[in-house]
Structure 1
Amino acid sequence: MFEIQDVNELEERFRTDSRRGLPKEEARSRLKEYGENVLKKEKGQTVWGMILEQLNEPMIFILFMAAAISMLLREYSDTIIIFVVIAMNTAVGVIQEGKARKAMEALKKLAAPVALVKRDNEYQEIPASQVVPGDLVKIEAGRQVPADVRITSVRGLAINESALTGESMPVEKTDQPMSAQAPMADRKNMAYMTTEAMKGQGEGIVVATGMETELGKIAGLINKTTGELTPLQKRLGDLGKILSVVAVALCVGLFVIGVVQHRNILQMLLLAISLAVAAIPEGLPAVVTIVLALGVARMVKVNTIIRKLPAVETLGAVGVVCSDKTGTLTENKMKVVTVYCNGEIMPAEKLNPQLHERFLEGYLLCNDSQLGEQEIGDPTELALLHMGKERGVKKEVLEKQKPRIGELPFDSQKKYMVTVHRDGKYNTAYVKGAGDYILEQCTGILVRGKILPMTQVQRMKIRQAMESMARDALRVLALAMKERAGEVTDEGLMKGLVFIGLTGMMDPPREAVRNSVSILHRAGVKVAMITGDHKDTAYAIANKIGIADAREQCISGDELERMTDERLEEVIPRLRVFARVTPEHKVRIVRGFKKNGQIVAMTGDGVNDAPSLQAADIGIAMGKSGTDVAKNAADMILTDDNFSTIEKAMEEGRSIYVNIKKSILFLLSSNFGEIITMFAAVLLALPTPLKASHILWVNLITDSLPALALGVDKNNRKTLMNHPPRDPGESLFAHGGWFLTVFYGMVIAGITLYAFHKGGQTYAFTVLGVSQLFHAIGMRDTERSIFRMNHLENPFMIFAFFAGLGLQFMVTEIPYFVQAFQTVKLDMSTWLWLLAVSAIPLVFHELRLLFIKKEK
């Protein structure tokens, strides 16, 4: 809106003076009216509120019920364990809360601490928080812009807006009104809060402060964006509801049957409650939390920091990766990749200091930037200095040989700069700038060290070279010279130039990105590029790294703006490149993919990425180049800023989900075996095969170490990334999970009842516990024979098996435990027989695989 207004309209709208600034009294009055130029912070949730939110989960309610039942049964150790599990889960959840609050704090820190304003025709430095709409602000190199400003005068001003718009290059500013409203990245006469002036200076009228600025709008988006449950959290929530119904039904059902059969009512009540506890795998939340935490530790080794624990598993379900271009897919550093000199186009690597002496010399001398421990200057000029350095030519050496004696600074209208150097007896001028303008001023051309007259054929070849570079979305800079240069003026230097050559530069893709994109495609994961750059530039990069292969897969922010959400949802599966987009567009894109049923990961490093990082299922920020705002809004951080790290993290996420699913199926099938054992005995009017203490003890030795051992199992990493991501709505029991739960539950129940028939409660108690330890070994891989598994890959499972066996041995051999659990001592031959019976789940494991193989 402000970009199309001229200075007079702005003065009238804001009741200000573009030369003298606001009166000081008026500025004080406006500060009261508009408030301070700061970002408002949403009222934060209290710690107690966050704790209650974490406790409001079905599985947590079940654990509280299990704790109450355990207390009723005077099983105080179980009660303590359950409360520790609840406390651990709650603490982890509370620590991970408050991303939006932290992002807002980081946004506040970004604001410029001071501003240079003109009031009553006097410049004064004031806290940026005191700037008001209508203030006349001075912007100069090295200063942050204190608010949103419409520029009214400019002298070579260029501003780095990459963190806000995604534009990789500093933007040359103008003070002229635009003919029509434009996206934020195209408003050449606007400067935005927190962006930094790289060179030149200018003045402008403040048009927005605080939450009304573009940065404030981003802050508002962060506040509005709410996190969603991860797929695993949703599935565990569903499981919790099912188990709570099952637990209640078991209690009531078993108690009613016992009453009908005239059994001891108190004994049946305790047994029914014990069975309800058996139906609830109270160790499950702890196992899931520990498995995720161990996954976090492993991810540090692959340069990934996880800020939100469930994000580890969610990575495995990601179907779309929306990646920022600058700094993520690319190096965020301009590089000369193609040159034109001596009448031919060639890669920059082929430049030769002897054959192309004037070419390298001109680009390095006509240059105001510096290399060193800290690189200073314009990214384009720095790229030229690196081009020379890689060929063994240094600017400092050249400047000593041919010192600068005059210059014409960069002109944003004509887009060129000139430097004049003492070259022996005479002076030589080098001109660098826009190709079209410089070519028009050239009457000669340098070819292999000789100056020849410029012909129409040569002009045509140069234009073809410029068009070729432009098609590859390269930034083109021309170089010309004038020997025996005269007066240092436009008229004296810009006539009769000798054309030397062209450089084509770009922010190149990272080396490993193309391979990573290929691996993700093979894994069924779509990759989309979202950037503030122009459509042609974005497509050129996307095509190079394999993200897009047709221009029809690209869309601009303008096109997106005109599109309804319904239409976007319809076409978004076909789109791969989103160019010239705003922060609001990025959030729409993420939501569009999510409405298509995809789990979406979003990468970014700038302030403008924060809302979409938070809107995505997985927000991924860059550790080196990322702003604090982006990092605080994200779920995970790449410490090496490398897109390829995402692929490794996804593989880890898929492995973690596989392990969690194995643990859940193991726990539920084992508990199902206990339920069937007790129900079958009651229905058949048999004596009770297990006491309440027996069931709780078995749960203690099987719901802990063996389940955790499955959670840290190594999977076949070669196959993890060779199939599509799982459906986010997929049940934990998909792909035969229900069958495995019921099948192995029946096997465990069958051998437990058989042992009870042969030798009573001690036999049943021992087989129930030990059979579940054997069952855990088979659950490491339900598709592979135990004889083909590498058991040494999981030493923790070996430890869990023998530790569980030792604990079960205690309750039949140590007098104190024998008395407490009312068991009988067993001799060695009996133990061997019980071990053989207990190993039957592994026999059925092998038989099931043989049957599957035969069916195939």
Structure 2
Amino acid sequence: MSMWFSKSQEEALKELEVNPAIGLTSEEAQERLEKYGENKLKEKPKKSIIALFFAQLNNMLIYVLLGAAAITMAIGEYVDSVIILLVVILNAVIGVFQEYKAEKAIEALQKLTTPRSLVRRDGDIKEIDSTEIVPGDIVIIDAGRYIPADLRLIESVNLQIEESALTGESVPSDKNARDIHEDPKTPIGDKSNMAFMSTLATYGRGEGLVVGTAMETEIGKIAKILDEDHEEMTPLQRRLDELGKILGFLAIGVCALIFVIALFQDREIFDMFLIAISLAVAAIPEGLAAIVAIVLALGVTRMSKINAIVKKLPAVETLGSVNIICSDKTGTLTQNKMTVVKQYTLNHAQEIPPGETSLQGTQDEQELIKSFVLCSDATYENGEGTGDPTEVALIVLGDKFQMAKKALNDKYHRVGEKPFDSDRKLMSTLNQEGKGYRVHTKGALDNILKISTHALVDGGIVPLTEEMKKTYLNVAEEMSNDALRVLGAAFKDTNSVIPPEEMEENLVLIGFVGMIDPPRLEVKDSIHQAKLAGITSVMITGDHKNTAVAIAKELGIAESIDQSITGTEIDQLSDEEFSHRIKDIRVFARVSPEHKVKIVKAFKSHGNIVSMTGDGVNDAPSLKYADIGVAMGITGTDVSKGASDMILTDDNFSTIVNAIEEGRNIYNNIKKSVVFLLSCNLGEVIAIVASILFGWPVPLLATQILWINLITDSLPAIALGVDPGDKDVMKQKPRNPKESFFAHGAGFRAVLGGTLIGILTLTAFYFGLAEHGYSLGSRDIPEDILTYARTMAFVVLAGSQLFYSLSMRNEIKSIFQVGLFSNKYLVGAIIVGFILQLGVISVPFLAEAFKVQNLSPLDWGIVIGFSLIPLTANEIIKIFMRTGAKN
């Protein structure tokens, strides 16, 4: 690797054959992309399908089944061993399909969350995926962006970069593009003319030439350290995993018990061994974690289609519990299309008509607009703006008064600046003006008044009196009451270049503008919907109290100004006082990002589950501290996206509400699948254990249990996992995160459903024997009659589980209220289940293999009738629950 830090900017640009004013052309960039490859660190090799398949077999139960298959083969029961092996293979294939699908969904999401970078190509500034960056690209750096590759800086203004990822130093390093380091052993932390991949720009701005990408970067050298497994189980998966283990131990205990009882009852040892193993497989819902993973992954993919990218799977569970949404105003609750509608210089107010492009201003107004345009970093050309919407609005204002940004920049060259920061709420630039220099400052009016000593009035500079300050503030307050955002401008002339710390003192106030960012049309409905769902919406903004409350009233967030508080007022309260007051506050105005952590803490102290939005570097702590940190996809910095659990690709408040609805439905779907699986497994256990305890013939053979497990467990459970959302889910209160999985009668329904399925299976078995003159206690029942009775039990066990899945779709609504055919996957799973069941009974070689036979039409009627009972019972219980809920 060349020692770029020891070369001048010109040498580096020459070596990589690029003109910094134009950047690479699209063709050159494409050629270099093919030559150097994508700018991303090497990942672990993906598991092949075969590796995934064998991973499915790495399971204690599967070993037991394979052992059983080997024993059956050894004693000549080839059909049984083939069926066991087929079940094992089918189980593994379904597992592979689930894992593959989940992996693909997560991969697609990772693509969506790739950081983006600003580069200069073909003479224009473009935003591209960081993976598309190539050596020779000119990268634009601003505060809050990650550095996408190793760069030789070619321009830097007060640039500071936090390099702890590489150096361990938490204090940001000052950068200077003009530095050259001759010593080849210069440590990374001292390479002040370089910026490295994965570090973070925290202050100032700059431009850099890409000199290393992907594995050729400094971070690439230590990429192996970063290449760790980050597959965390979600709290829900962990809970279910524990549940699976408990059930596993119970099942093994039950199997041992069966085996011991069978020995005393003098039953066929080998048959009992197979049944004990099958029962273990039936009782342990080994598909739980896989089904949860696939439902979460599919749900997350569905969310990405509604503009919510969930980065961490546990967030899906937490979303269902959110009861406070703290949202930034600008861009999230509003359209982020700032427009200047009024401007004011002392004793002279002017309305700015929309669309007008050739306005004339007084001398003071011209100075006001000039300062605003020169003190902005945004661009606006051919109707398209880039950068901060507030600044774009100021540049559009300049265009209306024939003061185009490009022309002003060329005439008054910028030689220094003090970037905006949320504590000062100011930004200043130093521009050349004739033989001298002029500081232009823009920002919050009250902060500008604090640092101004004079004012510009009718072309002359006069001392700023208290009377004048009052006049300015009164007019600004009137604008705020009309929901306008007020931004002031000031200047001062100097004879020489002054450092940033001297810029913002003894200024001359020129005036201010009022701009509006209209509320998003759809947000009002979303706030109402959230209210019905027991969710409180709260507005957080840096704007004035009056402006914020005016918009909050319009949106239905607040009713009066008493429900608002400012950052200054928060600072005067102790944590206890603030925590006590927060219950009544709906609007937080004039707050800095540092206040956001305090707001989250205060809400959480009351046991609330809080979602917080943010887009800036200093929003990261509050995003991390909130239960759900939500970053903005459009205006958000890479840091805020990195700290968040969810990213809104459209920066829209309504998307948060939609995501909460989706999160609630996903959780409910997982719950349906799990409760359904446990009911089915319990039914199988009850049927077998009861028959053994009472010394009856066993109603099901090992191969039959395995077959039913495969059909009824996998297909309907996955179909329930992708159930269409309940339209009324947002009419319920948020779920308590500590709530058990079996709350609201889910546990009772699982036990009841399982018990019914078990009893009906035994009843069908009894009917099959009784028709031929035998009872459950009879000895020496002929084999063909046992086969007939077992076929009836076999059909009832499978059929009752398949029908029962319909009833699991909603805890309270009937299957007709939900819509009998609204989940096409479930209807398909039930039809496929019955076709397979019918096939096993009707196709001679399958019937022989599974030891079943065809039933008479009357008995088909009986088994179908029995199969419908658990579904009917659950629907009757729901009628009582609905009646109880109304009372």
TM-score range, shorter chain: 0.5 to 0.7
1:148, 1:543 → 2: CA distance? 47
Which amino acid in structure 1 is aligned with residue 148 of structure 2? K
Which amino acid in structure 2 is aligned with residue 813 of structure 1? S
Question: How far off its partner does 1:685 sit?
Answer: 1.9
Q: Tell me which residue corresponds to 1:114.
A: 153
TM-align CA RMSD? 6.1
1:378, 1:785 → 2: CA distance? 52
Within a 5 Å distance, the mapping from 1:479-490 to structure 2 comes to none
1:621, 1:233 → 2: CA distance? 25
Q: Structure 1 residues 404, 616: CA separation in 2 closer, same or farther (over 3 Å shift)?
A: closer
Correspondence 1:728 to 2:732: no
Find the partner of 1:503 among 513, 523, 529. 513
Greater RCO, 1 or 2 (C-alpha within 8 Å, sep 6+): 1
Q: In 2, are the aligned partners of 1:360 and 1:388 still within 8 Å (CA)?
A: no
Q: Structure 1 residues 732, 623: CA separation in 2 closer, same or farther (over 3 Å shift)?
A: same
Q: In 2, are the aligned partners of 1:71 and 1:79 still within 8 Å (CA)?
A: no
Correspondence 1:745 to 2:754: yes
Say which is worse superposed, 340-349 or 785-794, in terms of deviation: 340-349
Find the partner of 1:767 among 782, 796, 800. 796
2:396, 2:156 → 1: CA distance? 38
Correspondence 1:659 to 2:649: no
Within a 5 Å distance, the mapping from 1:114-193 to structure 2 comes to 114=153, 193=201
Find the partner of 2:860 among 831, 834, 851. 831
Question: How far off its partner does 1:313 sit?
Answer: 4.1
1:770, 1:135 → 2: CA distance? 69
Unaligned 5+ residue runs, structure 1?
Answer: 1-42, 119-127, 141-145, 150-162, 165-191, 200-221, 422-428, 447-453, 481-497
2:879, 2:584 → 1: CA distance? 43
2:402, 2:836 → 1: CA distance? 74
Correspondence 1:625 to 2:635: yes
Correspondence 1:793 to 2:803: no
Question: How far off its partner does 1:755 sit?
Answer: 1.1
Q: Structure 1 residues 703, 634: CA separation in 2 closer, same or farther (over 3 Å shift)?
A: same
Instruction: Deviation per CA, 1:580-622: give whole Å up to 9, x if none.
Output: 345xx86787677667655444443344445655565544333
Q: In 2, are the aligned partners of 1:278 and 1:671 still within 8 Å (CA)?
A: yes
2:882, 2:466 → 1: CA distance? 76
Find the partner of 1:780 among 797, 805, 809. 809
1:587, 1:460 → 2: CA distance? 34
Q: In 1, are the aligned partners of 2:156 and 2:177 still within 8 Å (CA)?
A: no
Find the partner of 2:702 among 671, 674, 692. 692
Q: Tell me which residue corresponds to 2:500.
A: none
Find the partner of 2:237 among 216, 233, 240. 233
Q: Tell me which residue corresponds to 2:846.
A: 817
Find the partner of 2:275 among 271, 274, 292. 271
Question: How far off its partner does 1:113 sit?
Answer: 3.7
Say which is worse superposed, 630-639 or 641-650, in terms of deviation: 630-639
1:316, 1:364 → 2: CA distance? 48
1:352, 1:108 → 2: CA distance? 41
Q: Percent identity?
A: 38
Q: In 2, are the aligned partners of 1:198 and 1:378 still within 8 Å (CA)?
A: no
Question: How far off its partner does 1:290 sit?
Answer: 2.9
Unaligned 5+ residue runs, structure 2?
Answer: 1-40, 73-80, 116-129, 132-144, 158-164, 179-186, 191-197, 208-225, 419-425, 492-507, 769-788
2:641, 2:396 → 1: CA distance? 30
Question: How far off its partner does 1:788 sit?
Answer: 3.8
Question: How far off its partner does 1:623 sit?
Answer: 2.6
1:130, 1:786 → 2: CA distance? 61
Question: How far off its partner does 1:667 sit?
Answer: 1.5
Q: Tell me which residue corresponds to 1:124.
A: none
Say which is worse superposed, 838-847 or 57-66, in terms of deviation: 57-66
Question: How far off its partner does 1:524 sit?
Answer: 2.5
Question: How far off its partner does 1:256 sit?
Answer: 2.8
Instruction: Deviation per CA, 1:782-838: give whole Å up to 9, x if none.
Output: 423334442232222222121111111112111111111111222334323322222
Which amino acid in structure 1 is aligned with residue 250 of structure 2? V
Q: Number of aligned pairs?
A: 701
Within a 5 Å distance, the mapping from 1:231-630 to structure 2 comes to 231-323=235-327, 328-329=332-333, 335-336=339-340, 338-340=342-344, 358=362, 364=369, 367-368=373-374, 371-373=380-382, 375=385, 382-387=392-397, 394-395=402-403, 441=455, 461-469=471-479, 474-477=485-488, 502-505=512-515, 512-513=522-523, 515-527=525-537, 533=542, 543=552, 550=562, 559=571, 577=588, 579-582=591-594, 597-610=607-620, 613=623, 617-630=627-640
1:322, 1:350 → 2: CA distance? 32
1:726, 1:352 → 2: CA distance? 52
Which amino acid in structure 1 is aligned with residue 822 of structure 2? E
Q: In 2, are the aligned partners of 1:365 and 1:398 still within 8 Å (CA)?
A: no
Question: How far off its partner does 1:768 sit?
Answer: 0.9
2:701, 2:455 → 1: CA distance? 100
2:480, 2:647 → 1: CA distance? 35
Instruction: Deviation per CA, 1:718-776: give whole Å up to 9, x if none.
Output: x2112221111212211011111121222222222221111111111111111111111
Which amino acid in structure 2 is aligned with residue 580 of structure 1? S
2:453, 2:648 → 1: CA distance? 45
Question: How far off its partner does 1:371 sit?
Answer: 2.8
1:112, 1:556 → 2: CA distance? 41
Q: Structure 1 residues 264, 411: CA separation in 2 closer, same or farther (over 3 Å shift)?
A: closer
1:844, 1:252 → 2: CA distance? 33
Q: In 1, are the aligned partners of 2:712 and 2:833 still within 8 Å (CA)?
A: yes
1:567, 1:573 → 2: CA distance? 11
Q: Structure 1 residues 236, 613: CA separation in 2 closer, same or farther (over 3 Å shift)?
A: farther
Q: Tell me which residue corresponds to 1:681.
A: 691
Q: Structure 1 residues 352, 465: CA separation in 2 closer, same or farther (over 3 Å shift)?
A: farther
Instruction: Deviation per CA, 1:312-367: give whole Å up to 9, x if none.
Output: 44422333445456654566675435544896879756898899854876655664
SS at match of 2:821: helix
2:574, 2:59 → 1: CA distance? 48
Q: Tell me which residue corresponds to 1:196.
A: 204
Q: Structure 1 residues 518, 420: CA separation in 2 closer, same or farther (over 3 Å shift)?
A: farther
Question: How far off its partner does 1:703 sit?
Answer: 0.8
SS at match of 1:371: strand
Q: In 2, are the aligned partners of 1:557 and 1:580 still within 8 Å (CA)?
A: no
Q: Structure 1 residues 500, 296: CA separation in 2 closer, same or farther (over 3 Å shift)?
A: closer
